[in-house]
Amino acid sequence: MILGWFLFLFIGGIFLVTGAVLGPLFQAIFYLTLVFGYIGVITATAGGIGLVIARYSDNNLRDISAPVDGFNLAFALAVMISGIFALSYDPYFNIARNFMAYLISGMGYVLPTKFSVAFYPATSIQLILLCCFLIYVPFSRLTHFLGKYFTYHAVMWNSEPSMQRGMYSNKYDKNVKSNLDMKIPWSGSHVPNGKKWKEVSKNEQ
Amino acid sequence: MNSRIKINDFSKESKEPLIKINLEELMKLELVDTEPVIKEPPQFWKDRYDFSLDGHSAVGIPIPKNEEEKEELVHKFIKGLEKELTREGNWTFLQQVLLSLDYCAHCEACEQGTVLQLKVGSSTGMNPEGFKKIVQVMEEEIKEKTGINIKIPVDKEGADILLIHNAGEYISWLENPEAYAIIFEKAGISWTLSSEPVGYDAVNYGVWYDDVQLARIALKHVQIAHKLGVKKIVVGECGHATKALVVTAERLLTKENYIPRESVLPMLSDIVENGKLDLDPEKNRFPVTLHDPCNMVRLSGIVEPQRKVLKKIAPLFREMEPHGVCNYCCGGGSGFAIMHPYNFDQWKNKVAARMKVKQITEAFREENTMRPC
């Protein structure tokens, strides 16, 4: 829902930049932004609080939680809770939408004074926290939400069969052959030094 | 009562176990009246091998005699891990390893992996002549038990499928390959066994060793199948073999080395569903449940065929709970069911299989009976 809210804010921002704010489409985007935004912020905050309770009330989960896990949760919650405070100043996301227009236009869009972030401390704090969070995410284990696609949704890393309708169609064939051409960086009694994968995997007996 | 263990406790140096397994602290089995007590390992084991985790050992890691040996052990372990983290060393599974390492490192390695299979040809060490004698015994037993004369095809060229069992079945459970011979003959399947070492053993011990050994064994299976001119390899009832040859090898076999491979379970399901056998379910009117082995179900995704067969031929079949991909591990997979090193059996029976006992007894609760796994 939060990602949907961002998307509709972005689209709304484009409308503001182009000035096309009177049509029904803009109205639809406006209301969609409200729906996704409110549901997203409330459920994300509730979920974040639930995660903290789950992780630290269960003995087993608490034992395997590193300090960074707590920090990540606290950081995410701080963004969410500050968002709820910011809502009291921006119930229709007008400030957020105008700021988005400002960003999209490369700071060319002229912010109406009443929608300027600088005048609303709660919104400023929320924005600063959000930007810091977005900078932090790629360097943290929070990116597991991306890894989850490969480890869960793609179901064990692209599992379409190599033989389909009676025809061999492994699209990784070229990659596999290229990898077989690499030298094995280790050796053992059963693997001579400096050999390539394709050389040692043959059965020489 | 064991105190709570923290992650940091694992780095404590002590010969005494970090935790002792107490029967009183384990899950109670309501439908089991008595069970054997838990025995301590003998002192001379504890003096030589590492029992410091929970008083049990499956692999007998020797306790280093001095700091030098300890450093060497640690160094070798880290070197082994390093192999897994480079593209050149682990192109086969690098993506999975790196993605998993962030949160959890599953280690399914078994230090009992051995090159015996490659030097001799199979874990049982049978040469082709020995294998063919075993096949003769199978034919005689089938005739004796059922009155049916079956000539089991061995090294038959041009058959549709090459059936490869776990080599241990020919030594310990001959009735299993015999059963398949009867089923395949009655169903009119064009099939063959191979007498070549590795050709009659589907188990790929290279999975526990390294990717070079894994590749050698998998390629040998394929080479034997190509030599016989079969269209497909069918892997018998060994989850480990199914995982290795059907699933793991799928991405690793190039076009030139490719041959379709399949578990025997979908084939059995086809045979039963299509009425190729004259079966009387009333002969199986007794309580039956199904254990979902990790290798077959979770690792290979084979969930439904075995159920279709049971639902057709066992009128009193019921699932244990949970089942399918949610089933609990029994602790006996990958050969652990028949491995008895040190006091591993005790751990396996008391801990790993505990939930399994509960599931089975509950599946048969109404009949108040207990069946072996």
Residues in B touching A185 (Cβ below 8 Å) = 83, 86, 88-89
Answer with the residue of higher pLDDT: A142 or B40.
Answer: B40
pLDDT of residue B310: 96
- Among A13, A7, A57, CA closest to A35: A7
pLDDT digit string (tens) for B151-206?
Answer: 999 999 999 999 999 988 898 889 999 999 999 999 999 999 999 988 999 988 88
CB proximity B252 to A under 8 Å? yes
pLDDT of residue A174: 87
Residues in A touching B102 (Cβ below 8 Å) = 141, 144, 147
pLDDT reading at B254 higher than 70 = yes
Cα separation, B60 vs A163, whole angstroms: 43
Residue B66 Cα, gap to closest chain A Cα (Å): 25
Residue A43 Cα, gap to closest chain B Cα (Å): 25
Of the partner residues A151, A173, A190, the one whose CB lies closest to the CB of residue B99: A151
Contact A179 B91 (CB under 8 A): yes
pLDDT digit string (tens) for A65-86?
Answer: 888 889 999 999 999 999 898 8
Cα separation, B103 vs B99, whole angstroms: 8
pLDDT of residue A144: 73
CB proximity A180 to B under 8 Å? yes
Cα separation, A179 vs A183, whole angstroms: 9
Please name the residues in contact with B7: beta carbons below 8 A apart, sequence gap of 6 or more.
Answer: A63, A64
> What string of DSSP letters covers chain A?
-HHHHHHHHHHHHHHHHHT--SSHHHHHHHHHHHHHHHHHHHHHHHHHHHHHHHHHHSHHHHHT--HHHHHHHHHHHHHHHHHHHHHHH-TTSHHHHHHHHHHHTTT-S---GGG-GGG-HHHHHHHHHHHHHHHHGGGSGGGHHHHHIIIIITTTTT---SEETTEE--TTHHHHHHHHTSBPS--BTTB-TT-BHHHHSS---
Residue A145 Cα, gap to closest chain B Cα (Å): 11
Whole-model pTM: value is 0.77
Cα separation, B94 vs A135, whole angstroms: 27
Residues in A touching B251 (Cβ below 8 Å) = 162, 170, 172, 176
C-alpha separations of B326 from B26, B156, B248, B373 in Å? 21, 41, 22, 18
- Among B70, B42, B45, CA closest to B59: B45
The ipTM assigned to this model is 0.76
pLDDT in tens, chain A (205 residues): 888 999 999 999 999 888 877 788 889 999 999 999 999 999 999 999 999 998 899 887 888 788 888 999 999 999 999 989 888 888 999 988 988 898 898 888 887 777 776 778 888 888 899 999 999 988 887 877 776 676 666 655 566 778 877 788 877 788 889 999 999 998 888 889 999 999 998 765 4
- Which residue of A lies nearest to B81 if distances are taken between CA atoms? A186
Of the partner residues A141, A188, A203, the one whose CB lies closest to the CB of residue B219: A203
pLDDT reading at B136 higher than 80 = yes
Query: What tokens were used for B214?
Result: 């894994």
Contact B115 A190 (CB under 8 A): yes
Residue A136 Cα, gap to closest chain B Cα (Å): 17
Residues in B touching A184 (Cβ below 8 Å) = 88-89, 212
Contact A162 B258 (CB under 8 A): yes
Please name the residues in contact with B46: beta carbons below 8 A apart, sequence gap of 6 or more.
Answer: B15
Residue B352 Cα, gap to closest chain A Cα (Å): 19
Contact A162 B87 (CB under 8 A): no
pLDDT digit string (tens) for B102-131?
Answer: 654 333 332 222 233 334 456 667 889 999
Contact A157 B115 (CB under 8 A): no
pLDDT of residue B272: 96
- Interface residue of B10, B92, B99, B209 to substitute, partner A, most A CBs within 10 Å: B99
Confidence band of B323 (pLDDT split at 50, 70, 90): very high
